[in-house]
Structure 1
Amino acid sequence: MNTNDFRIEWYRWIRSRRALALLVVMIFVGVTAPLLTKHLPDLIGSSSGLQVIKQPEWRDGLQGYIKQSSQLGGVICIVMVCQVCGIRRETPLGIFYFTRTESPRALYVPRMVMSLVVVTAVALAGAICALYETWASFGTLEIRPALGPLAVELCALVLFSALTAGLAAVTRSAAWGGGIAGAVWAAGLFAAAATKISPYLPTSALAPSVVSLTWTDAAKALLPLLALAVAAVVAALVRPIRYSGRARS
């Protein structure tokens, strides 16, 4: 494993336009979510002079971005990260990779690292666009209360991408890795109805509250996701590529 391996994986993200597609999605959501939230009362209108919904404020605009970016961006991250890290042994490219090295770290670390770098970069770009559009649409923005939820969401996206990468690598299948990651996400959505465990679910970290988020809430949501991500990555990096000196059939 050397710098060339990381460079190759970077070019894989750039030249395949995966990074561009993810960047476009996050910027689009960052621009449109606060704008739509601002003009939602105008779109819905009023009935008999009675306001149907309350006039939104900047927190509502930012919450709209967090909700949409965590859902849409999270799904796309799952798909793209699985495509990068889920190497199937029986494919021609998989045969090449699995026969040129005996170290799972040399095979997967560059892919995982560059995947997380791309996810971090595009999430930052989306957050910056959301902050600007929220300020431009609502005319006001409190930076400190706004940065906390965005930072938690960014960390959650990176950790969930790491979990997905680890699952795709340990199963050696993009389909299985993405399916398990999607099942974890879906289970979190269903379990959110249980108020006692909802603060500890990955979905709580992916969509933190702009209004009531505290450091305790952030820790409760992020630490279980961190544990899952570390476990998946470690499992992928310690699973042998070859057994008894031969490629496993």
Structure 2
Amino acid sequence: MTRSGAVQAPAPSAPTAPTVVAAPDRVPRGPRRLGLWRLEWLRLTRTRRWLLLLVAFPGVGLVGPVFARHRDQILEALRIEGVPPATGMRADSGMAVYVYGSAQVGLLVGLALMASALAVDHRAGLAAFHRTRMHHARDLVLPRYTVTLTAVAIAYVLGMLIAWAQVHWMFGSLSARLVLYGAFYGLMGTVVQLSVVAGMAALLRRPVAIFGAGLLVVSLMPLASLWRPLRSWQPTELGTAPIELLRGHSAGEYTDNLVTALLISGLCVWFAVWRIGRREM
């Protein structure tokens, strides 16, 4: 109010800027830690080695029963003569093509992948890098062995399921119980073969040498069955179990072979861990 009594209007206030609340600073997340197991998985997937497993097992499972069904026509188209015509092809014949095909192609691929993975000391610089950062000797072997074995096992079972579906469609049904038992025994036979490569990796350094020595030992293992008392303990008999079970053999006949397979596999892996962990570069 002024001296004359007039009421003075309040002066307009300047508009105030809205208060800005600063957002809390976000701490950027660092890169994901690369552990040993993830490293081995990336080594398998990013190098496209899994494609070899697809060809060696599911590929054979897809083509094998087709070949058994149309063998004569395929041989005639390829102009291969001197082969007697196929007679009496049954469902077990289609599964046999997969089992014997994967035992040849899959064996070579599986042994090569395991030999490459367990060649720990092949490159001196990389070997020194790994050894100075490992706390236990098993870290040099077990992740490599387990990841490769798991990949081969998945490919083997997937190929068996594909072959089973093909046989069911082309020849007729098979006993699910016998097929699953056969898949388990065949898989354990593959485990023994890959474990032998682990044992060779404890003695040799280069992947080619490990692969060659492992293939030689695996190829000569069936000779032990020439001594009749060892036949029931021979782990290589597990490789043909998927077919023999479909042709009348019982699952209990392979118990001793399974025990031997587990024992040999455990000893080979233990020897690889013990020897590689103490080996000088």
- TM-score tier, shorter chain, comes to 0.7 to 0.9
- 1:237 — aligned with what? 273
Q: Is the aligned partner of 1:162 residue 2:195?
A: yes
The 3 A distance-change label for structure 1 pair 225 and 30 is same
Aligned equivalents of 1:181 and 1:199: distance in 2? 23
In the TM superposition, 1:112-127 aligns within 5 A as: 112-127=145-160
Q: Which has the larger radius of gyration?
A: 2
Aligned equivalents of 1:197 and 1:228: distance in 2? 14
Q: Contact 2:188 / 2:261 at 8 angstroms: preserved in 1?
A: no
- 2:164 — aligned with what? 131
In the TM superposition, 1:1-249 aligns within 5 A as: 4-43=35-74, 52-88=85-121, 90-101=123-134, 103-169=136-202, 171-192=204-225, 196-208=229-241, 209=244, 210-239=246-275, 241=277, 248-249=280-281
**Greater CA deviation, 51-60 or 61-70?**
51-60
Aligned equivalents of 1:68 and 1:213: distance in 2? 21
Aligned equivalents of 1:135 and 1:57: distance in 2? 11
**Greater CA deviation, 25-34 or 210-219?**
210-219
Aligned equivalents of 1:193 and 1:237: distance in 2? 32
Q: Contact 1:201 / 1:224 at 8 angstroms: preserved in 2?
A: yes
Aligned equivalents of 1:152 and 1:37: distance in 2? 23
Aligned equivalents of 1:132 and 1:126: distance in 2? 10
Cα-to-partner distance string for 1:174-227 (whole Å, 9 max, x where unaligned): 334323321222213445555553443333112222313323332232222222
CA RMSD across the alignment: 2.6
**Greater CA deviation, 157-166 or 76-85?**
157-166
Aligned equivalents of 2:146 and 2:175: distance in 1? 33
Q: Which runs of 5+ in 2 are unaligned?
A: 1-32, 77-83
Q: How many residues align?
A: 239
Cα-to-partner distance string for 1:159-187 (whole Å, 9 max, x where unaligned): 32233234324544433432332122221
Task: Give me the identity figure in percent.
Answer: 23
Which structure has the highest helix share of the two? 1
The 3 A distance-change label for structure 1 pair 236 and 52 is closer
Secondary structure class of the residue paired with 1:122: helix
Q: Contact 2:134 / 2:140 at 8 angstroms: preserved in 1?
A: yes
Q: Which amino acid aligns with 1:197?
A: L
Residue 126 (structure 1) shift? 0.7
Aligned equivalents of 1:101 and 1:132: distance in 2? 45
TM value normalised by structure 1: 0.84
Q: Contact 2:52 / 2:109 at 8 angstroms: preserved in 1?
A: no
Cα-to-partner distance string for 1:39-92 (whole Å, 9 max, x where unaligned): 2255568xxxxx944221101111221111122101210111110012125532
TM value normalised by structure 2: 0.75
Secondary structure class of the residue paired with 2:141: helix
Aligned equivalents of 1:40 and 1:195: distance in 2? 36
